């Protein structure tokens, strides 16, 4: 269950029968109960809200007496008490109680959250399940492990403030996160993965490599890219533009704001308003919105004149800035922002062209992602939402089947996401595993019968009749910001040469010797003339070894060291350090022309072969 979207009322009702052997989710749910039992012992008067299993762990929400908060030291105390309870083999005892009796019991215990949950369950639910773990009792349907001895490989990780029931208008509770596994070995492997993920955290690397920042003066979820990050971003965008141009896309541009009429017609104000920024009133009361999507603008471009079947498929592409009001609790670095640039394409085609367009789109998308070094994919097909969709079942079925056939042709694993489509159509999302096995949603492709209808789009067919086009929405990176963050973590800052902001740094040993500096700048000029990104380490008075180390810390792939002896030898050969290789393999000697050719050849590589191994 996603930790930001908990249906707490689902905890109330008759108990659920579990499998013969407890699953990892059951183990983690039981661990949440054991943690709550420890908390109420250590913090008398604590109230407990909900405590589900989530991906890789569990959490429980608490209200502490007097508005107190947990400290890091408290986590150690709670974990110690949990281990004591695990050693006691306390059974998890299931009990079925009349709803009214359970309400009276939790009210007498002062557990207001449990009373609230019971009050919100459907009126026809007359009995509820509770579980007792020693003196601790919780409203719960289960299932659980037989006893606490199963819960020895447990680690509490962090505390976060969350709003009760996810509503920022409510009070803030204390959420304690933990993880649980069947064995200490599995737990340690997980903790090692977490440590590696922290080493790769794009927020930390963004600061260390001087790529981007989030100034408080601008606001939450709004990034600024520094020169090196801006350069890398431009390289990404330029390569994407080249590939789109070669694939027959036409480039368009649209404004950042629009009158509300546009989003009323598109349906976004009916179905997406909670994710939009509030309107601005201008021109005597006319409401304007920051755009959350580019698609209505591209629709207007299509509709700007009469279209012929000969123009289809029409592929429009834009790096379009959009703005979405994400709740502060879910904003996270570059991977969840409020202002972003989408590499957005919209394809207008005939029904007969739909299958071939979807096939070529998936081939194009997967190829471009592979160029950026991602290669382990599966596809997810999201179908019609039950209560948030427009259009007929027949239209949804046709669109879903077209996507299914295109996905199956890619010969990748296809996972169903029932009810996960957008309000106007089903979608395929490309899910990619990064270097440490985490899954990221990348590209999305959506088939849309609805927006062409809402905007009255038409083209003139071969027989002169007016027909309705089909619209395909496609975001390849998702957003530039998010994809940038994913690449930083995938490569841990060790970018392939073609993406590295600085490809080669030249370090003079003696800054005060003109002959040395002349040769340094000559080498830099030759590299730049070949289209390579070279910098001179111009820091007089700083020792050469420190400059080399600084370049390594900034993940510069190549460092060239030039001293007086190199100039006096007059051989034209220089010492080159590949900072990504182990020390015994890192240093080589070559002519300047050889270095230029070596770097040019490597910078031309794309995909996994472009990434040499990194020294550990």
Positions marked active-site? 295, 324, 342, 344, 346, 427, 473
Question: Given its phi and psi angles, is residue 556 left (phi above 0), alpha (psi -120 to 50 degrees) or beta?
Answer: beta
Distinct helix (H) and strand (E) counts, the chain: 19, 28
Task: Please provide residue 169's backbone torsions phi and psi, each rounded to the nearest 5 degrees.
Answer: -80, -15
Short-list 335, 118, 323, 140, CA closest to 218: 323
Cα 390 to Cα 247: distance, rounded to the nearest angstrom: 32
Cα 297 to Cα 268: distance, rounded to the nearest angstrom: 13
Cα 227 to Cα 210: distance, rounded to the nearest angstrom: 8
Q: Which residues contact 354 (CB under 8 A, 6 or more apart)?
A: 402, 447, 470, 472
Q: Are 478 and 485 in contact (CB under 8 A)?
A: no
Decide the pairing of beta strands 504-508 and 534-536. Answer: parallel
Q: Is 463 helix (H, G, I), strand (E, B) or coil?
A: coil
| Residue 293: C-alpha distances to residues 25, 85, 168, 326, 446 (Å) | 37, 52, 25, 14, 14
Cα 230 to Cα 218: distance, rounded to the nearest angstrom: 18
Token pair recorded at residue 487: 């690449």
Query: CA 236, 315, 341: angle at the middle one, nearest 5?
Result: 35
Please give the helix or strand (H or E) that residue 122 lies within, else none. Answer: none
Judge if the upstream peptide bond of residue 258 is cis by omega within 30 degrees of 0. Answer: no
Short-list 457, 476, 474, CA closest to 311: 457
| Residue 435: C-alpha distances to residues 439, 442, 491, 608 (Å) | 10, 15, 7, 11
Q: Are 133 and 81 in contact (CB under 8 A)?
A: no
Q: Is 504 helix (H, G, I), strand (E, B) or coil?
A: strand
Q: Are 148 and 39 in contact (CB under 8 A)?
A: no
């Amino acid at each position: 269950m996603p930790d930001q979207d908990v249906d707490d009322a689902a905890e109330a009702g008759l108990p659920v029968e579990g499998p013969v052997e407890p699953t990892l989710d059951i183990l983690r749910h039981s661990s949440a109960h054991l943690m709550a039992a420890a908390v109420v012992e250590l913090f008398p008067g604590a109230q407990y809200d909900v405590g589900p299993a989530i991906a890789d762990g569990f959490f429980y929400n608490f209200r502490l007496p007097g508005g107190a908060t947990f400290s890091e030291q408290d986590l150690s105390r709670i974990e110690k008490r949990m281990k004591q309870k695990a050693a006691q083999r306390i059974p998890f005892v299931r009990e079925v109680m009349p709803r009214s009796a359970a309400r009276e019991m939790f009210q007498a215990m002062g557990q207001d959250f449990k009373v609230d949950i019971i009050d919100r369950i459907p009126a026809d639910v007359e009995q509820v399940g509770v579980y007792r773990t020693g003196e601790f009792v919780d409203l719960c349907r289960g299932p659980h492990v037989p006893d606490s001895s199963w819960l020895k490989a447990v680690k509490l990780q962090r505390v976060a403030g969350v709003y009760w029931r996810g509503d920022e208008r409510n009070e803030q509770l204390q959420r304690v996160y933990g993880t649980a596994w069947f064995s200490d070995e599995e737990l340690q492997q997980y903790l090692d993965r977490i440590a590696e993920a922290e080493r790769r955290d794009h927020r930390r690397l963004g600061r260390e490599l001087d790529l981007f920042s989030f100034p408080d003066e601008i606001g939450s979820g709004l990034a600024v890219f520094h020169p090196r990050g801006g350069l890398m971003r431009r390289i990404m965008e330029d390569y994407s533009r080249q590939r789109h141009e070669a694939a027959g896309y036409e480039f368009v541009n649209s404004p950042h704001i629009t009158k509300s009429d546009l989003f009323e017609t598109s349906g976004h104000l009916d179905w997406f308003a909670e994710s939009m920024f509030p309107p601005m009133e201008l021109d005597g009361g006319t409401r304007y919105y920051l755009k959350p999507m580019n698609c209505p603008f591209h629709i207007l471009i299509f509709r700007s004149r009469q279209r012929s079947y000969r123009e289809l498929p029409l592929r429009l592409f834009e790096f379009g800035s959009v703005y979405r009001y994400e709740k502060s609790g879910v904003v996270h670095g570059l991977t969840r922002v409020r202002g972003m640039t989408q590499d957005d394409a919209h394809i207008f085609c005939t029904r007969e062209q739909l299958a071939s367009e979807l096939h070529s789109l998936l081939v194009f998308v997967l190829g471009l992602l592979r160029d950026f070094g991602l290669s382990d994919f599966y596809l997810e097909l999201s179908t019609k939402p039950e209560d948030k969709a427009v259009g007929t079942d027949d239209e949804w079925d046709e669109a879903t089947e077209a996507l299914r056939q295109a996905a199956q042709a890619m010969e990748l694993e296809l996972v169903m996401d029932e009810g996960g489509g957008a309000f106007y159509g089903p979608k395929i999302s490309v899910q990619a595993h990064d270097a440490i096995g985490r899954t990221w949603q990348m590209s999305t492709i959506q088939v849309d019968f609805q927006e062409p209808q809402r905007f009255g789009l038409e083209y003139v067919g071969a027989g002169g009749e007016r027909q309705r086009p089909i619209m395909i929405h496609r975001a390849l990176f998702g957003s530039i910001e998010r994809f940038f963050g994913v690449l930083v973590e995938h490569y841990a800052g060790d970018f392939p040469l073609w993406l590295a902001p600085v490809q080669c740094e030249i370090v003079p040993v003696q800054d005060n010797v003109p002959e040395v500096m002349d040769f340094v700048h000559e080498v830099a000029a030759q590299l730049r003339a070949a289209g390579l990104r070279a910098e001179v380490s111009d820091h007089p008075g700083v020792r050469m070894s420190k400059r080399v180390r600084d370049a390594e810390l900034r993940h510069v792939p190549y460092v060239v060291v030039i001293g007086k002896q190199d100039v006096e030898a007059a051989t034209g050969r220089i010492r080159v350090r590949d900072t990504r290789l182990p020390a015994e393999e890192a240093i080589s000697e070559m002519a300047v022309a050889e270095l230029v050719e070596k770097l040019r050849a490597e910078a031309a590589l794309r995909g996994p072969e472009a990434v040499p191994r990194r020294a550990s």
